Every structure is written in C-alpha cells, then in structure tokens.
Amino acid sequence: MKLDSLFLSTCFRFSRIREDHRLLLMGFGILLCLQIPGQAAAQVYKSEGKNRYTFAQTTFGYDLEYTPPIGHSYFRDNNNQLTRARIGNSFSPTISITGLHFWGHAEFFTSFSLPDIDLSGDTAHGDYKRFGATGFKIFPWPIRMNKLRPYLGMALSSFSYEQGDGVSYKHADGSILAGLTYSFRKGLLELGANYHYANRYRYYISKTEAVDMAIPAFSFSADYKYFFDLSVNSLRREQRGELKAEYEMLKKRKKLNSVSLALGPAYSFILGRSSYNLNHKPYLHDHQVTALFPDIGLGYYHYRYDAAVNLSLRFFRSNLYAYENDQKVKRTSIALGLYKFLGDYHGFVPFVGGMISREDIRVQEFEKGIETYRNSRQFLSPGIIAGWDIRPTRTDWWGVRTNIRYFPWLNLKMPAGGQINLQQIELNFLQMVLYPGRIHGALTK
C-alpha cells in the first residue's frame, strides 16, 4: 500500500471514530501544535546536566503496528465442515504519549487507538484488531542524539476478535518488546517487534460449539515521537532564584496547600470469570476490557505531610453481543481516596493509599431485541490506589499523574445463582493535575 493511500485511509477511519475518542485525540494534537517555540529539544539532560528538571522528558508520537496473518481460527463451510482460516494482516495506528525517564535509560508509554486498517479484504473469516498499549522500555545505553540504541520492554495491551455472528471477543494480553531507537534533534524513531506470548484461546462459533483460536504471536511497529519538554522552564526559574521566592510567597499567603483539579483518560482490565456467563451463556465470554472513559478528580494537597485526599468520578459501559443475545453492563463509581507520597526521585514521586468507593452497577439482557432481565446494585467497596506524580517542584501549579486502582470486590448477582464479576484494575496513565490556588498566587506575586 502506498504511503499516501495509507494516510488517506487513516484519515477516513479517524473521521468515523467515536466522538469522545476523536475529541480526546484532537486535544492531544492541539497540545502538540501549540508548543512554545524552543521547547522541543533532544536530550535536555545532555545540554542542561542531570538534575530533577531533566530527569523526565515527554514525547508525543504516531505509532503504526503491523500484524501479519500468522494466527488462525476455524469456521464451518458450506458443507458444514470445519475449515481453518488465517487471522491478521492489518495495520493498527495509535497516538502515543511517553515519558523518557532516568536521563534516557527508561521510557514509560501509553497509546490511544485509531481505527485499524484491514489489508486482507476478507472479513467473512474473522475480524482481528489490536488496540493501544501501556508499558515500559529499558535502554541499557542511554538515548543520545544521532545514536542507535537497543531496547527491551514489556507492555499490557488488548485485542478483539469477531467471527460471523459471534461475540466481539476482547482480551488483555502481555507482550515482550525489543527494538532499536534512533534520536534526531527533535524526536525519536523506533522500530520494534512485539511477542504476544499468551496467544491461545477458545472462541464460540455457535451457542454450543467452541474452537481453538490462535492470535498472531508477533507484530511489528514503527513509531516517531516528538520531544516536548515541560520542565526546563523550572530549571531557569531556580537558576534565577525565582523558585525560592515563589515558595516564600506561597508560604506567606498560605497557598502551599491547595485544592487540585484533575482530568485524564482511563480504562479498566476486568479480572476473573463471571460464573453466570460461564454456566449459562459461555458464547458471550466475559467483560474484560473497557473502552476509554474520563477520570475526573477534585482533591486537596497538604504540603507539610506531602499527602492528598481526592474525590474521583469514573464511569464506563461494556456490551457483549452474540447470536441475538445482548448483555450490557454499566458502572458509575465515585471514590474517596487518601494517599501519601513516598520520597521524591528527581521529580518522580510515587504514592500509595486506600479508597472507599460508592458503586452503582447495572446490567441488562436482551434476546432478539426484547429485554429479558434487568438488575442493579448500589454499595460501598474498598480499593487500593498506587501510582506516581511527575512534578518539577512541590510548588508548581501543575503536575502529571499516573493512577492505578484495584477493586477486588465488584460483582452483581444474576439469575440461577450466578454473578457478573467486575473485579478490575483501573489504569489512568496521563492525568493532568492543576492547583488553582497556586495559579492565583503566581499571578499576584
């Protein structure tokens, strides 16, 4: 496929993406286009030295993952015989956002999917798609301008497979990463291979018959990422003595403690099996991977104790449909969390804490478009939260946060003694955190 055709195909599919995802991706594009001139520079830890302000560097990029047709499934042909069919042969474009840490030795990344580009032209035998990933890469030799550097890493991603009238089977899988990175003055070019080691599954080709399915074990990716530095300005302020002056001003005006506002995209990986689906509707499989949903937070940061309390709102929907049976699950969660920051490694600040969440879980079932069951449950559930902040200083008016939440006791009882299991891990890799009280102080100093 020619590059211009590939680009036009990507743009056409982007125009058809869900509205909330399109706005999210457009927002990232606007942020990229509105960079302040001079912020884009390779390896600020080389030009400015190793310090807390050069410890991490952000990049925005475009990733194109190719999956060859090396997987397989089975289907019934016109003679009712099982026939093997290939799975794969598609491009999966994503928007990637990364943080280059430890002065070029490690990269944490997440990516957000654009619609797949199918190259096979054969959807009768199955539709296989890969989605965005979250993970890390280790560079034994730090990234340097005009140098080629190898990397090894791991990622958690997801895929979906749909065959005939069967369910759109969604699953999270791990992968081992290896590749090479080359640094330009304003960005990085990466070429890599991904090994999806858990690649054997069972798929229902009818309500009663399941076949072995093997997703492609390997995929290959090319990624161009553009440097976007957010911290060097703080280094300049420190060199001019402005940070100390800001601290004294905020302390005098009692603005070191501050209300916080947070917003970012999140998604969940649902763990375990639902006994109701397993025993009564195995052809639906399970609710396992959610689409992106907004993670909205309102909190309060206490400077002296380096701790925070945060009220977060998240909500998602999941839908399983196969053979004229439809199962819809909706979850709304309002959680109060208390967490403590643990140390500060050059602006990389981990935290851990506990949560109590008010959960509202609802389920509906339909058969041939007619509702056959409805149930809901409202309850309080404990959870655990951990993650890290990237903050240039403790007095800045902004930060970037990664939230990892675990809720072990989310379920909803169903007929015949079964239950829907929604035990899950929530991941919010890129949440922008603002401190309005400090903005006011900075503007009036």
pLDDT tens by residue, 388-426: 998 878 888 888 899 999 999 998 888 877 899 889 899
Co-location of 155 and 293 in the same domain: no
Q: Could you please report the per-residue DSSP string of 126-157?
A: -EEEEEEEEEEEE-SS---BT-EEEEEEEEEE
For residue 70, being part of any structural domain is answered with: yes
Assess contact for 320 and 326: CB atoms under 8 A.
yes
Assess contact for 11 and 26: CB atoms under 8 A.
no
Residue 362 has a pLDDT of 94
Q: Which of 346, 109, 398 is nearest to 230 (CA)?
A: 398
Q: Could you please report the per-residue DSSP string of 303-328?
A: TTTTEEEEEEEEEEEEEEEETTEEEE
Residue 334 has a pLDDT of 96
Question: Could you tell me the CA-to-CA distances from 83 to 27, 75, 162, 339 in Å, in that order?
Answer: 45, 5, 16, 55
Distance CA 401, CA 390 (A): 6
For residue 131, being part of any structural domain is answered with: yes
Co-location of 144 and 82 in the same domain: yes
Q: Which of 290, 288, 127 is nearest to 213 (CA)?
A: 127
Co-location of 85 and 180 in the same domain: yes
Co-location of 344 and 438 in the same domain: yes
Distance CA 126, CA 166 (A): 10
For residue 239, being part of any structural domain is answered with: no
CA 116 to chain centre: 17
Domains contained in the chain, number:
2
Residue 404 has a pLDDT of 93
Distance CA 125, CA 82 (A): 12
Q: Which of 288, 293, 283, 292 is nearest to 271 (CA)?
A: 288
Distance CA 276, CA 410 (A): 14
Co-location of 213 and 317 in the same domain: no
Residue 114 has a pLDDT of 84
Which of the listed residues 193, 228, 263 is the one where a domain comes to its end?
Answer: 228
Q: Which residues are CB-contacts of 39 (< 8 A; sequence separation ≥ 6)?
A: 228, 229, 230, 232
The two beta strands, 90-101 and 117-118, are: antiparallel
Distance CA 364, CA 380 (A): 21
Distance CA 21, CA 218 (A): 27
Co-location of 324 and 267 in the same domain: yes
Co-location of 297 and 194 in the same domain: no
For residue 235, being part of any structural domain is answered with: no
Buried b (16+ CB within 10 A) or exposed e, 156-180: ebbbbbbbeebbebbbbbebebebe
Co-location of 195 and 251 in the same domain: no
Co-location of 121 and 253 in the same domain: no
Length of the chain: 445
For residue 240, being part of any structural domain is answered with: no
Burial class of residue 299, CB neighbours in 10 A (0-12, 13-18, 19+)? buried
Distance CA 291, CA 298 (A): 23
Domain that holds residue 384: 246-443
Distance CA 71, CA 198 (A): 12
User: Within 10 A of 218 (CB to CB), how many other CB atoms are there?
Assistant: 16
Q: Which of 314, 316, 107 is nearest to 227 (CA)?
A: 107
Which of the listed residues 167, 195, 228 is the one where a domain comes to its end?
Answer: 228
Distance CA 306, CA 366 (A): 50
Tokens standing for residue 109: 């990344």
Co-location of 306 and 422 in the same domain: yes
The two beta strands, 218-228 and 210-214, are: unpaired
Q: What is the CATH number of the domain that holds 172?
A: 2.40.160.20
Which of the listed residues 199, 228, 257 is the one where a domain comes to its end?
Answer: 228
Co-location of 286 and 392 in the same domain: yes
Q: What is the pLDDT along the chain (445 residues), one digit of tens a residue?
A: 443 343 334 344 433 444 444 444 444 443 444 343 334 455 555 555 566 666 777 888 889 999 999 999 999 888 889 999 899 888 999 988 888 888 888 898 888 888 888 887 765 668 899 988 889 999 999 888 888 999 999 998 889 999 989 999 998 889 999 999 998 878 889 999 999 999 999 999 999 999 999 999 999 999 998 887 666 666 667 667 777 888 888 888 888 899 999 998 888 888 878 899 999 999 999 998 888 888 999 999 999 999 999 999 999 889 999 999 999 999 999 999 999 999 888 778 999 999 999 999 999 999 999 999 999 999 999 999 999 998 878 888 888 899 999 999 998 888 877 899 889 899 887 788 999 887 754 544 4
Distance CA 355, CA 382 (A): 6
For residue 241, being part of any structural domain is answered with: no
Residue 355 has a pLDDT of 96
For residue 237, being part of any structural domain is answered with: no
Q: Which of 27, 18, 135 is nearest to 427 (CA)?
A: 135
Co-location of 27 and 152 in the same domain: yes
Q: Could you please report the per-residue DSSP string of 9-69?
A: HHHHHHHTS-HHHHHHHHHHHHHHHTPPTT---S-HHHHS-SSTTTS-EEEEEEEEEEE-S
